[in-house]
Structure 1
Amino acid sequence: MKSRTNASFFKAISIIIVTFIWSIASIQHARADVILHAFNWNYNEVKNKANEIADIGYKAVLVAPPLKSGSNCAWWARYQPQDYRVIDHCQGNKESFQAMIDALNSKGVVVYADIVLNHMANERNNSTYFPGDSALNDYQNNANYWNKQKLFGDLSNGFLSPWDFHSEACISDYNSIWQVQNWRICGGNGDRGLPDLDPNGYVRSQQRQYLQALKDMGVKGFRVDAAKHMTNWHMNQVFTSSIKRGMHIFGEVITGGGTNSSDYRNYLGPYLSGTDHDAYDFPLLNTMRNALRPGGSMTLLENPIAFGNALPGSRAVTMPITHDIPTNGGFRYLILDPSDEHLAYAYVLGRRDGAPMVFSDSTGVDNNRWVNDYRQSDIKAMVRFHNKVRGQGQETIYSDDCVLAFRRGKEGVVGINKCGGDRWVELRTNEKYYWYRNYRDTFSGETFQINSSSKWVRIPGRSARMWYAD
């Protein structure tokens, strides 16, 4: 009996261990999926495109903040909350939000919600009573509608009052951690700024209820807007272990460089060490800019993590562009030349590390440059390559100032040439590739085969090639 008991015990422990390992692997695997940032899209539009989004190969869609904001339909109004307890704004309401989640889930695609926890709206002469008397009256007069849009709480009562905010003061020094995390984001010229929330017990409880309600609806990830403006203590109080379980959470902490930059030391580094959340990989974006610029070297992209110029892959959401870059004057310097942006996408969708994000705009900024980018032929081709080689290792084949080439296990080869002329790269094939099997370029469809110990492949000027094994 004792031996049988021990055998049963060890069998049970083995099952638990294997299950744990597989659950960790699945989390990391899921985080390598391609995310579509459907920036400022209407929820019904996302729902109606669920088939197309899934067919292209996206596995997650980041959508507009689900909350109540004002009647102004400009994109920035979605980042000025009036009330967390209901979803209602120009891009949809709770009913359309749920319909969108259900449509995407039916196609194997999950929804990530953009959330705003740092501040509320600058409106009604900068009032700090939310949502305000007019909104409360509307809740009562149109109770049937608003109860359908309610996430939690009692809509007969106000949501926030002046006691739930920090003192009014505008950030004047972004190198002051105290100012950044306690004062207001202001626009200048007398703007009184966005009322900055005090993370008191009541505020934190409301934020936890909000996040749990979204999770209960089927949301599988949260992008934390303006994360650098919140303390890690506040973040960890709100994102409890039960809320985080099974979720992909990543913060927006804009930095101008890697580990040697002051904003990394002040904000992004502490955020990564003080929470277990992921973050936008702004260090890598800066490294890509430096590598792709005239006079830069593609060798910077060979192993940027090793030199503090990229986030660890398990913590990184990688991208050539985010919505803040073209829509905010202070960040427009980060916009890449269109050809360089194509090469940067080839890099983030070709490499092993990080969860790549594709930005697809609905605002029409910069003469519609990023409108419908999610379905551009080159983006679709790169997503296809990413999904075919997902989970494979990475090894550099060659790098110099103009060219970076690397393989993804035996399953794929990526070559990026930022310079003007064609370049040829040698593949030394001993046990590193499939022999007598087509490797197909995801862009052109052209193929090659390995049939000797050395194979030379061409990378056209100002182009990328991404070959996957058929």
Structure 2
Amino acid sequence: MSLKSKLKAVAVGVTASFAVVSTSSSADVILHAFNWTYDEVASKASEIANLGYKKVLVSPAYKSTGSQWWARYQPQDYRVIDNPLGDTNDFKAMINALKARGVDVYADIVFNHMANESAIRSDLNYPGSNVLSQYSSSSSYYNSITMFGNISNNLFGSGDFHAPGCISNYSDPGEVQYYRLCGGNGDPGLPDLDPNNWVVQQQKSYLQALKSYGVKGFRVDAAKHMTNYHINAVFDSNIKNGVHVFGEIITSGGAGTNEYDAFLAPYLNNTGHAAYDFPLFEQIRQAFSFGGSMNRLVDPIAYGQALPPSKAITFSVTHDIPLNDGFRYQILDATDETLANAYILGRDGGTPLMYSDHNESGDNRWNNLYKRSDITNMIRFHNATQGRSMEVVAYNDCYILFQREHVGMVGINKCGSGQNVSVDADAEGLYWYRNYTDTLSGNTQYITSKFHNFHIPARSARMWLLQ
């Protein structure tokens, strides 16, 4: 839903009045357990549930080799789960452990291409003779972890791929969706799958197997590189029934940018799926930039700079940003990222995704982020205010203050000096003689008069929750 267009900027220290309202929307927080083994996720099922997460997105589950994180995004075979993160039995056990605690599993899906194995062979038979020999030599084990199909034969052959050719113009949908992702220096790239009837049926069989195990959501990796025809052919009404599907289409902004207009908007319109809200992320980046204004975060949907809540996966960082040199410029300052998380988890709209890795990037920023106290306290506010409408009460270049009905208030101040905002408690429906306690700092606001001052310290966020 979009926010009402009536806006009223409120200067520091003056009375705040009605500004912007959205209707109710609920969305559980997704933990992106990036590159975690399935056993690790299972062992932490109780902790994950107790911290307030309701969904866990895990790394791609199929046959793949190599210890590097990116090797998980190079599938060899869909028919078995066998990779350094675990096998089919580990995957099932993880789903059951989380399900027992009320947490759903989302699977990361790679359907655009297969593994680049040009260094070890020249054919396009997948999984290839070496893997088929492995299956044969340990037939009892591999038959026990087979999800569908006959693993004595290859899954795909040369006729199941587009002609070779590397993408050179990333603004051209034809090149992006029919050519290969290549690494340069003569690299032939990732073999690009053709969505013929056989390919589509195998991909549907894979998804149906995951659904039968209890998977409740699918993240479509590199959806920008797939045609909408391919996506719709695989994700038919039967596959989509009862699951949450969202795609990864990286853009540099919202409406008016080439990537949005050429890729993201057609994807949203033609598939009906959700997507990462890169338009909102760009507004967050601009708002927290030097000289940027927090008014960008008041009503970004109204200007096509954020996705509709039902289609938005919101975030402050994704795995691609720190792990790929071409996107590292998008990493937020550590304090700004904390403030951005308060915005994402405090607002009404979209499904928040929290990325937590094992320091694959070397930045040591997101290692065990899932259990960091600021994140878990923000999630506590999010869960307590789900279903409550949002009203932007006051804002200026430095701060934004919004409420979730009478239940909570969120203040975010990006500047180097504290901000004071006087709020008409009666007009905003806040409760008198009740504590509103900040889940982050413990600061308590006790309202005893019509006008109440909310102080937001420098470079800080406050998430006051009615006690």
- In which range does the TM-score fall when normalised by the shorter chain? over 0.9
2:35 is the counterpart of 1:40: yes
Aligned to 1:403: 399
Match of 2:59 among 50, 64, 72: 64
Q: Report the CA distance between 1:359 and its aligned residue.
A: 0.5
The answer (yes or no) to whether the contact 1:131–1:159 under 8 Å persists in 2 is: yes
Q: Report the CA distance between 1:273 and its aligned residue.
A: 0.3
1:236 and 1:423 mapped to 2: Cα distance?
Answer: 49
Aligned to 2:178: 182
The answer (yes or no) to whether the contact 1:317–1:356 under 8 Å persists in 2 is: yes
1:165 and 1:225 mapped to 2: Cα distance?
Answer: 18
SS of the aligned residue for 1:113 comes to: strand
> 367-376 vs 105-114, which deviates more?
367-376
Aligned to 1:95: 89
2:190 and 2:371 mapped to 1: Cα distance?
Answer: 35
1:325 and 1:367 mapped to 2: Cα distance?
Answer: 12
Gaps of 5+ in 1: 1-24
Q: Report the CA distance between 1:366 and its aligned residue.
A: 3.0
Match of 1:232 among 219, 222, 228: 228
Aligned to 1:75: 69
SS of the aligned residue for 2:151 comes to: coil
The answer (yes or no) to whether the contact 2:69–2:360 under 8 Å persists in 1 is: no
> 363-372 vs 158-167, which deviates more?
363-372
Q: TM-score, normalised by structure 2?
A: 0.93
SS of the aligned residue for 1:366 comes to: coil
The one-character-per-residue Cα deviations of 1:289-318 (angstroms, maximum 9, x if unpaired) are 000011000000001100111101110000
Aligned to 1:111: 105
CA RMSD of aligned residues (A): 1.2
Aligned to 1:22: none
SS of the aligned residue for 1:365 comes to: coil
SS of the aligned residue for 2:363 comes to: helix
1:367 and 1:318 mapped to 2: Cα distance?
Answer: 22
The amino acid of 1:368's aligned partner reads N
Aligned to 2:10: none
Aligned residues: 442
The answer (yes or no) to whether the contact 2:107–2:215 under 8 Å persists in 1 is: yes
2:350 and 2:422 mapped to 1: Cα distance?
Answer: 27
The amino acid of 2:95's aligned partner reads I
The amino acid of 2:109's aligned partner reads I
Aligned to 1:321: 317
The answer (yes or no) to whether the contact 2:274–2:311 under 8 Å persists in 1 is: yes
Aligned to 1:242: 238
Aligned to 2:19: none
Match of 2:337 among 330, 338, 341: 341
- 1:211-222 correspondence to structure 2 within 5 Å: 211-222=207-218
Aligned to 1:197: 193
- 1:349-388 correspondence to structure 2 within 5 Å: 349-388=345-384
2:99 and 2:54 mapped to 1: Cα distance?
Answer: 10
2:79 and 2:360 mapped to 1: Cα distance?
Answer: 30
Q: TM-score, normalised by structure 1?
A: 0.93
> 313-322 vs 358-367, which deviates more?
358-367
SS of the aligned residue for 1:368 comes to: coil
Q: Report the CA distance between 1:125 and its aligned residue.
A: 3.5
2:285 is the counterpart of 1:289: yes
2:462 is the counterpart of 1:435: no
Q: Report the CA distance between 1:369 and its aligned residue.
A: 1.6
Q: Relative to structure 1, is the Cα distance of residues 257 and 141 closer, same or farther in structure 2, using a 3 angstrom cutoff?
A: same
SS of the aligned residue for 2:423 comes to: strand
Q: Report the CA distance between 1:74 and its aligned residue.
A: 0.3
Match of 1:446 among 432, 443, 449: 443
Runs of 4+ in 1 over 4 A off after TM superposition: none
Aligned to 1:15: none
Q: Report the CA distance between 1:364 and its aligned residue.
A: 3.3
The one-character-per-residue Cα deviations of 1:392-411 (angstroms, maximum 9, x if unpaired) are 00111111000000001111
The one-character-per-residue Cα deviations of 1:417-459 (angstroms, maximum 9, x if unpaired) are 0001111112211151122111110011221122211100111
> 298-307 vs 435-444, which deviates more?
435-444
Aligned to 1:18: none
The answer (yes or no) to whether the contact 1:126–1:195 under 8 Å persists in 2 is: no
The answer (yes or no) to whether the contact 2:323–2:360 under 8 Å persists in 1 is: no
Match of 1:142 among 126, 135, 138: 138
The answer (yes or no) to whether the contact 1:223–1:249 under 8 Å persists in 2 is: yes
Q: Report the CA distance between 1:413 and its aligned residue.
A: 0.3
The answer (yes or no) to whether the contact 1:136–1:158 under 8 Å persists in 2 is: yes
Gaps of 5+ in 2: 1-22
2:439 and 2:420 mapped to 1: Cα distance?
Answer: 18
- 1:299-318 correspondence to structure 2 within 5 Å: 299-318=295-314
SS of the aligned residue for 1:367 comes to: coil
1:106 and 1:147 mapped to 2: Cα distance?
Answer: 27
Match of 1:280 among 272, 276, 283: 276
SS of the aligned residue for 1:371 comes to: coil
Aligned to 2:9: none
The answer (yes or no) to whether the contact 2:436–2:466 under 8 Å persists in 1 is: yes
Match of 1:463 among 455, 460, 465: 460
Aligned to 1:155: 151
Identity among equivalent positions (%) equals 55
Q: Report the CA distance between 1:104 and its aligned residue.
A: 0.5
The amino acid of 1:285's aligned partner reads F
The one-character-per-residue Cα deviations of 1:143-191 (angstroms, maximum 9, x if unpaired) are 1111122110001111100000000000000011100000000111111
* Higher RCO structure, 1 or 2 (CA under 8 Å, sep 6+): 2
The answer (yes or no) to whether the contact 2:126–2:156 under 8 Å persists in 1 is: yes
The amino acid of 2:342's aligned partner reads A
1:367 and 1:109 mapped to 2: Cα distance?
Answer: 29
The amino acid of 2:416's aligned partner reads G
1:191 and 1:343 mapped to 2: Cα distance?
Answer: 41
SS of the aligned residue for 1:398 comes to: strand
Q: Report the CA distance between 1:126 and its aligned residue.
A: 5.1
The one-character-per-residue Cα deviations of 1:349-398 (angstroms, maximum 9, x if unpaired) are 00001000000012431332210000111101101110010110011111
Greater fraction of residues in helix: 1
The answer (yes or no) to whether the contact 1:40–1:363 under 8 Å persists in 2 is: no
2:126 is the counterpart of 1:127: no
